[in-house]
Amino acid sequence: MELIIDFDNIKDPGKKEWLLNTLKLMGIGYYATEKPQTLAQYDEDLDAGNAEIEQGDFKTAENLKIEARKW
């Protein structure tokens, strides 16, 4: 049996990591496919990131250090 995972349909990085760790733990082999990002998708990602920054949705390095100390 062959298992093919389309990572493009899993948007949450945590879910991707969980899935791969679970498969590895269970000894299940898998074949992962990823489609290359198009230039238009790349531009959309950049625009979305810039919009987040403009809205103040970001962490400074100092704030990240403070947050990491709580982990």
Give the sign of the dihedral formed by CA 44, CA 48, CA 49, CA 51: positive
Q: In terms of pLDDT, which residue wins out, 47 or 2? A: 47
What pLDDT sits at residue 53?
92
Domain edges within the chain = 4-69
Question: pLDDT digits over 11-65, tens only?
Answer: 888 898 898 888 888 888 776 666 788 899 899 999 999 999 999 988 899 988 9
Q: Residue 32 has what pLDDT?
A: 66
pLDDT at position 2:
62
Q: Are 43 and 17 in contact (CB under 8 A)?
A: no
